[in-house]
A and B are shown apart, each in its own frame.
Chain A
Amino acid sequence: MNITVTQQDKVTIVAIDEKRLDANNSGELKSQMIDLLQSGQRNLLIDLEHVTFIDSSGIGALVSGFKNATAGGGKLFLCNLQQQVQSIFELTRLNRVFDIFADRESALQKLG
């Protein structure tokens, strides 16, 4: 699982540098988000620009990150969802749970 982590003000941006987020790599993402939260990062913005395929396992990893961030007093947000990825969030109704932004700029404007 390749990710790029950058910090902007109080928000830790996690860019997923993979085309797929599925049962083969979702466990790694889950662990990496836990590591970030345990190292003191509270607010995670997950940038899914490069992800063109996500399954229930990938969604589960993001739900896990969301719950862990919230439990620690922080938040987890999503941005840059491809249309087909967005459709899976709508199918599972998780678009009503996550704050989903069109791009990083609009997310940081709201969160910063």
Chain B
Amino acid sequence: MSEQTPVIMHMQIPSDTKYLAAIGSLVEALVGIREPSLGFSLQLALTEAVANAIKHGTRSPATDDVGIDLFLDAQAVRMRVHDHGPGFDLESVEVPDEDELSDHGRGLQIIRALVDSLSYGPTPAGNTLEMIKFFPPPAAAEPDDS
């Protein structure tokens, strides 16, 4: 991939968790071409976001869909997940209490730890969770002694 040419992808999937593996693997592979160290973590962030959209953001799971946009260039990867649910206040979602040992509620905690920017709100595509991860700057070239 030329790092000057962005990868732009839009997907629309049924509201069904059986699509998670395919989408996650595709995004990990695409990100991995640019920055191998981030492929796994961004697959995980996207999987959490899409699973949340399927679970909480669909009006009718049998007929609804989830939209996913990926924009990958030399500086960053931007992922947007669009749902059609009632929405939620991102800032009011608290980190699970470790002592309570809940068996759910860690999805946003994981996403927050893996991306540099996270936002959620209404857009023309529905309610949109946007995740941005900036790539580390390229290592300085070794001096050429020849």
Binding site for B on A (CB under 8 A): 20, 22-24, 53, 55-57, 59-61, 63-64, 66-67, 84, 88, 91-93, 96-97
Contacts and interface: CB of A to CB of B under 8 A. Distances in A.
B106 A67 contact: no
Contacts of B54: 23
B101 interface: yes
A22 B110 contact: no
Given A23-B20, A23-B55, A55 B48 contact: yes
A67 B101 contact: yes
B18 A53 contact: no
B44 to A, nearest CB: 6
A28 B101 CA distance: 20
Contacts of B24: 53
B40 A57 contact: no
A88 B44 contact: yes
B102 A55 contact: no
A18 B136 CA distance: 33
A57 B20 CA distance: 12
Contact of A24 (B17, B98, B102, B105): B17
Interface residues of B, number: 24
Contacts of B55: 23
Q: Which 8 A-B pairs have the closest CB atoms?
A: A24-B17, A56-B106, A23-B51, A64-B103, A60-B103, A63-B103, A56-B107, A23-B17
B43 interface: yes
B47 interface: yes
A55 B18 CA distance: 14
B102 A56 contact: no
B10 interface: no
Given A56-B109, A91-B110, 19 more contacts: A22-B20, A22-B21, A23-B17, A23-B20, A23-B54, A24-B17, A53-B47, A56-B48, A56-B51, A56-B106, A57-B107, A60-B106, A63-B103, A64-B103, A84-B40, A88-B44, A88-B110, A93-B98, A97-B98
B20 A24 contact: yes
